[in-house]
């Protein structure tokens, strides 16, 4: 990630994890599985050495938390509108 500018890294750290949790929630229909998949992808990228700044990890974690919160609210509001049979 050193080839990307610092601004680009920050924008990606803010948007990518949260959007990935929401996307995986829509695909798997389970927000816990979506969170685990997203954390595994980011752990693999950290292990591979794509990020080197600790505060990017903090931004990633905050974005993961917000994405998980949004996915949880999205699923509960969807269940209230369309209860299972």
Task: Answer yes or no: is 74 within a domain.
Answer: yes
Contacts of 68 (CB under 8 A, 6+ apart): 21, 31, 34, 35
Q: What is the pLDDT of residue 48?
A: 85
Task: Answer yes or no: is 85 within a domain.
Answer: no
Domain count, the chain: 1
* pTM greater than 0.85: no
Confidence band, pLDDT 50/70/90 cuts, at residue 69 = very high
Tens digits of residue pLDDT in 18-30: 999 999 999 998 9
Task: Answer yes or no: is 45 within a domain.
Answer: yes
Task: Answer yes or no: is 84 within a domain.
Answer: no
Q: What is the pLDDT of residue 35?
A: 92
Owning domain of residue 23: 6-78
Task: Answer yes or no: is 49 within a domain.
Answer: yes
| Widest Cα–Cα separation across the chain | 51
Task: Answer yes or no: is 83 within a domain.
Answer: no
């Amino acid at each position: 990630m050193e080839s990307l500018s610092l601004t680009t890294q920050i924008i990606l750290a803010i948007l990518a994890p949260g959007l990935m949790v929401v996307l995986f929630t829509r695909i798997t229909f389970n927000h816990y599985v979506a969170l685990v998949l997203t954390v595994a992808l980011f752990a693999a990228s950290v292990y591979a050495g794509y990020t080197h700044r600790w505060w990017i990890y903090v931004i990633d974690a905050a974005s993961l938390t917000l994405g998980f919160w949004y996915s949880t609210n999205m699923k509960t509001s969807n269940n209230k509108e369309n209860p299972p049979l």
